[in-house]
Amino acid sequence: MNYEQLIPVIRRLAIEAGDKIMEIYESDDFEVKSKSDDSPVTAADEAADALISAGLRAAFPDVMLVTEEQAATHDTTGDTFLIVDPLDGTKEFVHRRGDFTVNIALVEGGVPTRGVVYAPAKGRMFLTQADGQSVEETGPFDAAQMGDVTPMKVADSDNDALMVVASKSHRDQATDDYINKYAVKDMKSAGSSLKFCLVATGEADLYPRLGRTMEWDTAAGHAVLSGAGGAVVRFDDLTPLAYGKDGYANPFFIAYAPGVDLKDS
């Protein structure tokens, strides 16, 4: 994959998809349907998916594509592919909380190597550059031209005063029990893949996820965190979280800055 070619394409598609999502988000009403697993889906998910998948297939016709909204792609297998969640945080979208993101990533050899996470309602964009360094771009988010960027770097963590970020919609007792093993200065809650990005910017040290996720939920955030010096490991054995798994389902995991002294599960 030519990263110099990839990054402008995924950035542009994320912005264009974000524009479509915001049109629907700001409308008076939108229909919410349920998928077979009872998770919500809206016209915004479908419109963003159609735009992104068409753009990726046109630009990279020989690269396998996996996208949340196209069930046929979930039966494909490989360790190198593009993976998309066109609207991560649909519950946040439906409740108009703003914590939703557009996610596009490249996985190579089972590892997310490049990605973009765009939160259009929050006005924040995080992406890896061609050289692998993660940056946060500040507006105006012109699809044709990248704006000013700030390099991202994980925090130099203080294990006596950690900042932890956890899910808004999926918090449970098991998560709280694990967090209680640490000396926590403060907690943040955030929706969607923004949690990875808060660790990547140094706004948080640790993001444990003891709940169901799919690879399209995590790949772009994982790539951004890696490009800022962070890591994502399995909760059970602390080995790196790999991609291209059967059915694209993730185990529980921990995203963290490397200065954090991880506790056993």
CA-nearest of 215, 202, 233 to 104 is 215
For residue range 108-163, list pLDDT tens digits in order: 999 999 999 999 999 999 999 999 999 999 989 999 999 999 999 999 999 999 99
Positive or negative, the Cα torsion across 93, 20, 113, 158? negative
Residue 69: other Cβ atoms inside 10 A: 20
For residue range 245-260, list pLDDT tens digits in order: 999 999 999 999 999 9
Q: Flag whether the pTM goes above 0.75.
A: yes
Q: Both tokens of residue 205?
A: 């040290």
Phi, psi of 33 (to 5 degrees): -105, 170
Q: Are 208 and 216 in contact (CB under 8 A)?
A: no
Element (H, E) at 76: none
For residue range 30-71, list pLDDT tens digits in order: 776 766 665 666 788 899 999 999 999 999 999 999 999 999
Helix (H/G/I), strand (E/B), else coil: 35: coil
